[in-house]
């Protein structure tokens, strides 16, 4: 408890640092500890700076942003390939579905880390009421 109170009184780094550390899947505040205990699960607190990471709930924003980014990468590629050399549906599925999955699993934790850094900067925890 004293550690979390002490952690709250320490100034946060600038926004770009918070975002970059989150994107690298490190604690946005100290940049030392891994941000996720498992694929997308944040630990209750940072092992180094003791900032309460588990209380920050990004909810659905990281998946929405990931879909937006991956969609803007995959769809133009599909259109370019389809225009230059049309393929069968099964060949399209064999190429684009795995590529979409790989990009999604690569971007999702990084985007979530970025959003956690953004929420930390704004002071949101995800449990605000309207």
CB of 46 to Zn ion, least distance (A): 3
Q: By CB under 5 A, which span of 11-19, 29-37, 94-102, 112-120 interacts with Zn ion?
A: 29-37
How far is Cα 58 from Cα 39, in angstroms, rounded to an integer? 14
Specify the long-range contacts of residues 34-41, CB closer than 8 Å, at least 24 apart. Answer: 35/113, 35/116, 36/109, 36/112, 36/113, 39/109, 40/108, 40/109, 40/112
Quick check: 29 binds Zn ion (CB under 5 A)?
Answer: yes
Q: Is residue 46 at the binding interface for Zn ion, with CB under 5 A as the rule?
A: yes
| Contact call for residue 48 and Zn ion (CB under 5 A) | yes
Interacting stretch for Zn ion, rule CB under 5 A, among 10-18, 23-31, 35-43, 69-77? 23-31
Residue among 18, 19, 35, 49 that touches Zn ion (CB under 5 A): 49
Residue with tokens 């630990």, as numbered in its chain? 43
Minimal distance, residue 35 CB to Zn ion, in Å: 9
Q: Is 56 in the site for Zn ion (CB under 5 A)?
A: no
| Alpha carbon distance 98, 66 (integer Å) | 16
């Amino acid at each position: 408890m004293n550690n979390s109170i002490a952690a709250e009184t320490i100034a946060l780094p600038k926004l770009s640092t918070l975002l970059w550390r989150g994107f690298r899947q490190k604690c946005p505040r100290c940049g030392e500890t891994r941000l996720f205990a498992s694929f997308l699960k944040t630990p209750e607190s940072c092992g180094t700076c003791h900032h309460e990471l588990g209380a920050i709930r990004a909810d659905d924003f990281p998946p929405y942003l990931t879909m937006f980014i991956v969609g803007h990468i995959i769809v133009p590629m599909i259109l370019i390939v389809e225009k230059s050399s049309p393929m069968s549906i099964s060949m399209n599925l064999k190429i684009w579905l795995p590529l979409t999955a790989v990009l999604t699993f690569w971007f999702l934790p990084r985007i979530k880390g970025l959003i956690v850094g953004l929420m930390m900067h704004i002071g949101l925890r995800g449990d605000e009421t309207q």
